[in-house]
Structure 1
Amino acid sequence: MTGTVELPLHLAWSGLRQFDVEDDKLLLGLYRILLTNGLREDLTRYVNAALLMRHWPRLRVAVGKPIRTCWEQRFPELVAAVAAA
């Protein structure tokens, strides 16, 4: 996946709204915002499953235990991604 994602104000109200998905640091920031504050519609629109899986081992630390647990219970493949890293 390449390009830039621009988040709406209800998600990125405090600053940076554009995220280059080829920049790992920006992508992790984008996904942290989405996973912690996104609505279902936001998640289906902006989250790429392959990118989420690839970056989950680092991202899971950034989102905190409650969100990590919720996502890993719903998507066991994320746990497998951590084990493979």
Structure 2
Amino acid sequence: MTAEQRPPVRGYAKPVVVPERLDSLTGPTTGIVVLPRHLKWSGNSRYDLDQPGRIADLYRTVLNEAATSDDLSRYLDRATLLDLWSSMWLPVALRGKWEDRFPELRHRRYDPAA
């Protein structure tokens, strides 16, 4: 389903930032990452990517809060995003914009019937 076919989604007022190319995502995949306040404005902004589940938490936060494509390229990694995509809960509008730009993400969705 394309963006034109999808019914309008309410409740997600923040603009969705999507990079021009997935190859521009070259962020860390191990170690400690501390997000700046504009990406993680409350709670613990420190992510130990070597701890189970923390990289998915970081990706969800960055995808939801990114203000620029630089935020995406600095903190996300292409291969890791592709691996995590099907298991992450994301707002419908955000997921739709990313999948419209990058159809290969759409094919990575979890299908319980498969």
TM-score bracket, shorter-length normalisation: 0.7 to 0.9
- Asked if structure 1 preserves the Cα contact closer than 8 Å seen for 2:87 and 2:110, the reply is no
CA root-mean-square deviation: 1.9
Aligned residues: 83
Larger relative contact order (Cα-Cα within 8 Å, sequence gap ≥ 6)? 2
Unpaired runs of 5+ residues, structure 2, are: 1-28
Larger Rg: 2
Q: Which moved more, 1:19-28 or 1:37-46?
A: 19-28
1:1-85 equivalent positions in 2, closer than 5 A: 1-39=29-67, 40-59=69-88, 62-82=89-109
Matched residue SS, 2:37: coil
TM-score, normalising length from structure 2? 0.64
Divergent runs of 4+, >6 A: none
1:13-35, Cα deviation, whole Å (9 max, x unpaired): 10111112233421121111111
* TM-aligned CA distance change 1:82 to 1:26, over 3 Å: same
Matched residue SS, 2:109: helix
Unpaired runs of 5+ residues, structure 1, are: none
